[in-house]
A and B are shown apart, each in its own frame.
Chain A
Amino acid sequence: QIMLTQQAESLWISPGERVSITCRASQSLLYTDGKHYLSWYQQRPGQTTKALIYHASVRTDGVPTRFIGSGSGTEFTLSIEHVQPEDFAIYYCLQTLKSPFTFGSGTKLEIK
């Protein structure tokens, strides 16, 4: 199965700063349609899990423009510019290229 590694278990930053969360796949997530099957999700206590980014860089409807997905092949990044108080949460990457679909272990964004 494809393994996804989120190296950072936690990241401490101050509101207003920029942060990048990385996700590394054990094999390329590029499909023959030219799209990468890597998506990003946000989990906040008391809220439903929220889809942020799909196909590595496409923002889901309604997601603020400060959330930016980038990367290709096996290396992907979720960047958040000017972090807001509501962005302190846990972020997961997910690959849906091949079954079994697999998640990264998660990165918790914490207030410095």
Chain B
Amino acid sequence: QVTLKESGPGILQPSQTLSLTCSFSGFSLSTSGICVSWIRQPSGKGLEWLATICWEDSKGYNPSLKNRLTISKDTSNNQAFLKITSVDTADTAIYYCARMRPGRLDYWGQGVMVTVSS
């Protein structure tokens, strides 16, 4: 059974760095063809893809976040991570991680709410 669960700080202040963890089970990020993606969704709005990391350590980022993103993984502990630097109120959103296979995000986590506020 594939499951993913996101965790994060809940609240942080503008200019701080947001660190998110995706803990998963039921698959390995060392398996060929498997990737993990991060997506976010501001309250009441649509979905935005942020970044993806794959089994062979290739990475992709959304350029709209202007080099603020770093994605990484710990294959041994079945975790993926996302860091977003210099956050501001526009980064307030629900953050999701999802398993990615060719052509789809086939399993999603429940999401974690992150609020940026002074």
Of A11-19, A72-80, A97-105, the stretch lying at the interface with chain B is: A97-105
Interface CB pairs A-B, < 8 A, 18: A37-B103, A48-B108, A48-B109, A48-B110, A49-B98, A51-B106, A51-B108, A92-B46, A92-B47, A96-B100, A96-B104, A100-B62, A101-B37, A101-B49, A101-B60, A101-B62, A105-B46, A106-B47
Q: Is residue A25 contacting chain B, with contact meaning CB distance below 8 A? A: no
> Do B109 and A51 have beta carbons less than 8 Å apart?
no
Q: How many residues of B contact A (CB 8 A)?
A: 22
Q: Is residue A39 contacting chain B, with contact meaning CB distance below 8 A? A: yes
A interface: dominant SS? loop
> Do B49 and A41 have beta carbons less than 8 Å apart?
no
Return chain A residues, CB-CB under 8 Å to B96. 49
Q: Is residue B105 contacting chain A, with contact meaning CB distance below 8 A? A: yes
Please report B residues at the A interface, Cβ cutoff 8 Å.
37, 46-49, 52, 60-64, 96, 98, 100, 103-110
Task: Tell me the smallest distance from the CB of B48 to a CB of chain A, in Å.
Answer: 7
Q: How many residues of A contact B (CB 8 A)?
A: 22
For residues 22 through 43 of chain A, which have their beta carbon under 8 Å from a beta carbon of chain B? Answer: 35, 37, 39, 41
Please report A residues at the B interface, Cβ cutoff 8 Å.
35, 37, 39, 41, 48-51, 54-55, 60, 92, 94, 96, 99-106
**3 nearest A-B pairs in the assembled complex, by CB-CB distance:** A54-B104, A101-B49, A49-B108
